[in-house]
């Protein structure tokens, strides 16, 4: 019998290790798996490389993980957001490395990583500082830059609902990086509002097929970053 349901976020992130690469879904607060991130803060792993589009707001979620000093390197496209002060301070103090990647290149590197493609050519960033030092090649008279696929040890993803086989559906623009990160990680952990029995999700509606998902954990009422910040929450 297959049953990917895990009883709690703490249990779901138990084996994250020091030095691990962790992909974290979300675009701003939409799709940010806050409960999994907070469980990781409690769990204590450090020297992490985090792959996520943004670096978090306030002192909750990703910003709280950064503030706790657990992140050695951040791979992202936009480390500046309203209410985002933790990352800028760490970066300026030389305490967190940054690899800045154009958003579409970041998405495609993750997709490629999950799809068994080691590298690819893209027109994005050609002629800009973000292409410096990278291999480039001309196809049909246009220059492209080579980018490498990106894989991870773990992915933390937020969905709306999943079945115990790991099939996932998402909510609106909270889907963003979730499906491709689930593909690119050895262990993909998805928090959802409800876990249902196999057959509870129409196969035509499945966005992440269960083969890409290792663990699902129910967080019935997930917090939103903006609400926590408005309430003055600082984690832990």
Partner 1 sequence: MSESMTQRVGWTREQMAQRVAQDIENGSYVNLGIGIPELVAKFVPEGRTLIYHTENGLLGMGPSPEEGEGDPELINAGKKQVSAIPGAAYFHHADSFSMIRGGHLDLCVLGALQVAQNGDLANWSTGEEGAIPAVGGAMDLVAGVKKIYVITQHTTKTGEPKLVESCTYPLTGLGVVTRVYTDLAVIDVTPDGFRLVELTPGADFAYVQERTGAQLLPLSH
Question: Strand locations in 41-149, DSSP E?
Answer: 48-51, 71-76, 97-100, 119-122, 136-139, 142-148
Task: Tell me the HSE value of 117 on the side-chain side, using a 13 A CA sphere.
Answer: 14
Would you give the binding string for partner 1 spanning residues 106-125, x where CB under 8 A is met?
xxx-xx----------xxxx
Q: Which of 12-20, 61-69, 78-86, 192-200 is the region at the interface with partner 1 (rule: CB under 8 A)?
A: 78-86
Is 156 a binding residue for partner 1 by CB under 8 A? The answer is no
Pick the closer one to partner 1 by CB: 60 or 180: 180
Residue 24 main-chain phi, psi, to 5 deg: -125, 115
From the centroid of its chain, how far is CA 84?
Answer: 18
Residue 163 touches partner 1, criterion: CB under 8 A:
no
Please name the helix (run of DSSP H) or strand (run of DSSP E) that holds residue 104, with its range, or none.
helix 103-115
Out of 154, 156, 165, 177, name the contact with partner 1 by CB under 8 A: 177
Stretch that binds partner 1, among 3-11, 65-73, 77-85, 211-219 (CB under 8 A): 77-85
For position 31 contacting partner 1 by CB under 8 A, the verdict is yes
The alpha carbon of 115 is separated from its chain's Cα centroid by a whole number of angstroms, namely: 17
| Inter-CA distances, 76 with 12, 17, 100, Å | 24, 21, 5
Contacts with partner 1 by CB under 8 A lie at 27-31, 53, 77-82, 87-88, 91-92, 98, 100-108, 110-111, 122-130, 170-180, 207, 224-227
């Amino acid at each position: 019998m297959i049953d990917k349901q895990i009883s709690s976020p703490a249990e779901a992130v138990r084996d994250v290790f020091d030095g691990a690469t962790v992909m974290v879904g979300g675009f701003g607060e939409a799709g940010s798996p806050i409960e999994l991130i907070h469980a990781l803060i409690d769990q204590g792993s450090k020297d992490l490389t985090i792959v996520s589009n943004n670096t978090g707001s306030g002192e909750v979620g990703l910003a709280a993980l950064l503030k706790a000093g657990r992140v050695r390197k951040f791979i992202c496209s936009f480390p500046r957001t309203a209410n985002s002060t933790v990352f800028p301070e760490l970066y300026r103090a030389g305490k967190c490395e940054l690899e800045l990647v154009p958003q579409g290149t970041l998405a495609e590197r993750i997709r490629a990583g999950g799809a068994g493609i080691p590298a690819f050519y893209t027109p994005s960033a050609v002629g800009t500082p973000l292409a410096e030092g990278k291999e480039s090649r001309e196809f049909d008279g246009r220059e492209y830059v080579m980018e490498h696929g990106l894989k991870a040890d773990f992915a933390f993803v937020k969905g709306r609902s999943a079945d115990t086989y790991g099939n996932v559906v998402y909510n609106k623009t909270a889907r963003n990086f979730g499906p491709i990160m689930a593909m690119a990680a050895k262990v993909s952990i998805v928090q959802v509002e409800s876990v249902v029995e196999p057959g509870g999700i129409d196969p035509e509606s499945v966005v992440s097929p269960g083969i890409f998902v290792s663990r699902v954990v129910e967080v019935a009422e997930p917090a939103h970053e903006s609400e926590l910040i408005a309430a003055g929450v600082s984690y832990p």
